[in-house]
């Protein structure tokens, strides 16, 4: 256990996030030595308790103890680790919270790095969108050298990650410059059904067998929501459509046809750069479904193996074979799809670097147009967490070597990295990277990461994100959200409420 004791409540979330990056397996608990009334009402993502005293007696059994004291314009950090005492301090301007936070994270990072002899590839960056910083530097007119210096000095990121961020930011900017942020938006449509639930999955998805008799009823509600959005946004420009889930191809061919025809008949797609259907699970793909997608003009699909090791597929609950994946991909090519993505996950149970190499050899032979390399991030709602006793003896390893291996194969296939994001709890403190052939980059993927355009989301568990056009002083944009309920039956029963949530988000004035 790691204990952090603050003498006042401030920057707890940032400290907690950085410590979890260094020590992902440790339980990090936050305590206060100030009076309880000073911390009442705090809404923290981490465990927190009020206490008095210096904590030495109370936490004698803790593996590590940090003490962070704010006194005037000085912050002092003390840390005891393996019977070695470390101490550092900084002078800050309490009125400049952003700079104070950055300086606190830098000195804390350097202290831990020196103490344990290990650095983090992303430095102090614990957020999920590191390329947004590189993008902001480009938009501010910085050249490559200035951008590099900024990321190195302010975030201590490795050269490799800085160069990756800069390269991706340039490619993203070239594509995003084609869009009209003021009048444009994108549409997400959620299909919350899967053939089975994967062990690592925390998305809104339900086994199709339980709901197959209510899928049409679900589509009735979904179409009602889509009709509202189409009418409410008729004066806006639709730039991309993404049907995700879940697994959209759990729908029967006539249901897929029904849904896509509803979208095409309700929305103006003349300025739509991309229409994606995430086919995903090979055990949900048939020739008839692919032909239905192709006949409806779908421009981009996914066929997601996650791994080409059969034993791993069995462990994580993927009810298909490696051969199913290969056959589904080839079938999609035969059907005429020329923009196919394949998702892979690094850090799955019992996967070695040799297993990854074998997977990439098969992927290289198939030659997809996009490859997305994910680092396993185990969320609280995933079976790997809920039933962790079943998996606790299984190794789940992801390293820079894994990511470099995948990057090398993607380069051999002519694929360039075009978008990147991170998640909490990622194996090896790594990232997710999307690679694509020139001209085949996923527009929606970039938009969801860079948060420069509104995304209207329909379906159970879908989250709508309103991006305001007027930038904040720091160049970021105000973002407001509304979410649909996750439960399918509740979504069907309360569809009018889901529509009303969107009305309030977009069309009800704040002072009403």
pLDDT of residue 186: 96
Tell me what the mean pLDDT of segment 377-384 comes to: 46
pLDDT at residue 510 is higher than 80? no
Q: Which of 68, 88, 94, 84 is nearest to 9 (CA)?
A: 68
Residue 198 per-residue DSSP state? -
Alpha helices in 347-479 (DSSP H): 353-366, 383-386, 388-391, 400-412, 443-450
How far apart are the C-alpha atoms of 284 and 168, rounded to whole Å?
32
Tell me what the mean pLDDT of segment 298-303 comes to: 93
Residue 206 pLDDT level (bands cut at 50, 70, 90): low
How far apart are the C-alpha atoms of 264 and 297, rounded to whole Å?
10
pLDDT of residue 197: 58
Tell me what the mean pLDDT of segment 237-261 comes to: 95
| CB-based burial label for 319 (10 Å; 0-12, 13-18, 19+) | middle
pLDDT at residue 268 is higher than 70? yes
Q: How many other β-carbons are positioned within 10 Å of the β-carbon of residue 6? A: 21
Structure tokens at 185: 């938006």
pLDDT at residue 46 is higher than 70? no
Least confident range from 183-192, 334-343, 381-390, 412-421: namely 381-390
pLDDT at residue 405 is higher than 70? yes
pLDDT at residue 45 is higher than 50? no
Residue 219 pLDDT level (bands cut at 50, 70, 90): very high
Higher pLDDT, 406 or 204: 406
pLDDT of residue 511: 42
pLDDT of residue 382: 42
Higher pLDDT, 49 or 6: 6
Tell me what the mean pLDDT of segment 444-470 comes to: 91
pLDDT of residue 163: 94
pLDDT at residue 241 is higher than 90? yes
Q: How many other β-carbons are positioned within 10 Å of the β-carbon of residue 297? A: 11
Q: How many other β-carbons are positioned within 10 Å of the β-carbon of residue 391? A: 19
Whole-number average pLDDT of the chain: 87
How far apart are the C-alpha atoms of 164 and 171, rounded to whole Å?
11
Which ranges in the chain are annotated with CATH 3.80.30.20? 178-503
pLDDT at residue 43 is higher than 60? no
Q: Which of 344, 343, 348 is nearest to 376 (CA)?
A: 348
How far apart are the C-alpha atoms of 104 and 510, rounded to whole Å?
36
pLDDT above 70 covers what percent of the chain? 86
CA distances to 160, 404, 416 from 353, in Å: 20, 11, 22
- Determine the length of the chain: 512
pLDDT at residue 142 is higher than 50? yes
pLDDT of residue 428: 58
pLDDT at residue 286 is higher than 50? yes
pLDDT of residue 101: 93
DSSP string, 258-287: HHHHHHHHHS--TT--EEEEEEE-GGG--H
Least confident range from 86-100, 185-199, 369-383: namely 369-383
pLDDT of residue 58: 62
pLDDT of residue 386: 36
Q: How many other β-carbons are positioned within 10 Å of the β-carbon of residue 143? A: 10
How far apart are the C-alpha atoms of 363 and 308, rounded to whole Å?
9
pLDDT at residue 380 is higher than 70? no
Backbone angles phi, psi at 431, to 5 degrees: -155, 175
Phi-psi category of residue 397: left, alpha or beta, with phi > 0 → left and psi -120 to 50 → alpha: beta
pLDDT at residue 59 is higher than 70? no
pLDDT at residue 388 is higher than 50? no
Residue 228 pLDDT level (bands cut at 50, 70, 90): very high
The overall longest dimension of the chain from CA atoms, in Å, is 71
pLDDT at residue 169 is higher than 90? yes
pLDDT at residue 161 is higher than 70? yes
| Strand-pair category, 274-280 with 370-375 | unpaired
- Give the list of residues 6+ apart from residue 449 with CB closer than 8 angstroms, or none: 129, 131, 132, 419, 420, 421
Tell me what the mean pLDDT of segment 371-391 comes to: 58
User: Would you say domain 178-503 falls under CATH 3.80.30.20?
Assistant: yes
pLDDT of residue 176: 86
- Give the list of residues 6+ apart from residue 352 with CB closer than 8 angstroms, or none: 397
Residue 165 pLDDT level (bands cut at 50, 70, 90): very high
pLDDT of residue 392: 55
Q: Which of 44, 74, 58, 84 is nearest to 5 (CA)?
A: 58
pLDDT at residue 153 is higher than 90? yes
Residue 506 pLDDT level (bands cut at 50, 70, 90): very high
Q: Which of 389, 307, 391, 383 is nearest to 351 (CA)?
A: 307
CA angle, 84 as apex, 78 and 89 as ends, to 5°? Answer: 25
Q: Which of 109, 260, 271 is nearest to 184 (CA)?
A: 271
pTM summary value = 0.83
Tell me what the mean pLDDT of segment 102-110 comes to: 96
Tell me what the mean pLDDT of segment 235-256 comes to: 94
Tell me what the mean pLDDT of segment 90-117 comes to: 94
CB contact at 8 A, 355 and 309: yes
Tell me what the mean pLDDT of segment 202-210 comes to: 65
């Amino acid at each position: 256990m790691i204990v952090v004791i603050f003498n006042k409540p401030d920057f707890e979330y940032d400290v907690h996030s950085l410590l979890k990056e260094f020590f992902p397996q440790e339980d990090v608990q936050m305590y206060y030595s100030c009076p309880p009334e000073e911390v009442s009402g705090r809404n923290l993502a981490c465990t927190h308790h009020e206490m008095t005293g210096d904590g030495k007696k109370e936490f004698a059994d803790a593996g590590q103890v940090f003490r962070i004291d704010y006194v005037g314009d000085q912050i002092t950090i003390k840390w005891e680790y393996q019977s070695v005492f470390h101490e550092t301090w900084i002078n800050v301007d309490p009125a400049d919270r952003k700079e104070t936070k950055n300086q606190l994270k830098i000195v804390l990072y350097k202290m831990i790095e020196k103490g344990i002899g290990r650095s983090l590839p992303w430095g102090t960056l614990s957020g999920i969108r590191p390329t947004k910083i590189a993008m902001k530097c480009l938009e501010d007119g910085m050249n490559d050298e200035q951008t590099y210096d900024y990321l190195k000095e302010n975030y201590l990121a490795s050269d490799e990650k800085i160069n990756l961020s800069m390269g991706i930011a340039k490619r993203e900017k070239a594509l995003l410059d084609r869009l009209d942020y003021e009048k444009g938006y994108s549409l997400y449509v959620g299909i919350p059904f899967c053939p089975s639930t994967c062990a690592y999955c925390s998305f809104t998805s339900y086994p199709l067998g339980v709901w197959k008799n209510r899928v049409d009823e679900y589509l009735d509600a979904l179409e009602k929501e889509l009709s509202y959005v189409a009418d409410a946004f008729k004066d806006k420009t639709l730039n991309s459509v993404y049907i995700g889930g879940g697994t959209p191809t759990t729908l029967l061919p006539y249901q897929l046809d029904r849904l896509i025809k509803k979208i095409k008949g309700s929305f103006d797609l003349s300025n739509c750069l991309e229409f994606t259907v995430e086919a995903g699970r090979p055990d949900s793909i048939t020739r008839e479904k692919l032909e239905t997608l192709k006949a409806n003009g779908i421009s981009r699909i996914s066929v997601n193996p996650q791994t080409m090791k059969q034993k791993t597929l069995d462990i994580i609950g993927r009810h298909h074979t490696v051969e199913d994946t290969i056959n589904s991909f080839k079938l999609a090519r035969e059907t005429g799809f020329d923009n196919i993505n394949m998702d892979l996950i690094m850090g799955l149970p019992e996967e070695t670097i040799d297993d990854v190499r074998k997977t990439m050899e098969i992927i290289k032979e198939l030659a997809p147009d996009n490859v997305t390399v994910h680092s396993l991030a185990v969320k609280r709602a995933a079976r790997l967490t809920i039933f962790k006793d079943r998996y606790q003896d299984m190794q789940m390893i992801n390293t820079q070597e894994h990511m470099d291996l995948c990057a090398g194969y993607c380069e051999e296939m002519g694929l360039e990295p075009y978008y990147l994001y991170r998640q909490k709890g990622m194996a090896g403190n790594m990232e997710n990277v999307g690679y694509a052939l020139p001209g085949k980059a996923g527009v929606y993927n970039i938009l969801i990461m860079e948060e420069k355009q509104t995304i209207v989301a329909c379906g159970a568990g879908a989250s709508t994100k309103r991006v305001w056009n007027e930038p904040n002083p720091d160049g970021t944009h105000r973002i407001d959200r509304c979410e649909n309920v996750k439960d399918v039956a509740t979504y069907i029963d309360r569809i009018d409420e889901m529509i009303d949530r969107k009305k309030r988000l977009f069309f009800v004035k704040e002072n009403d």
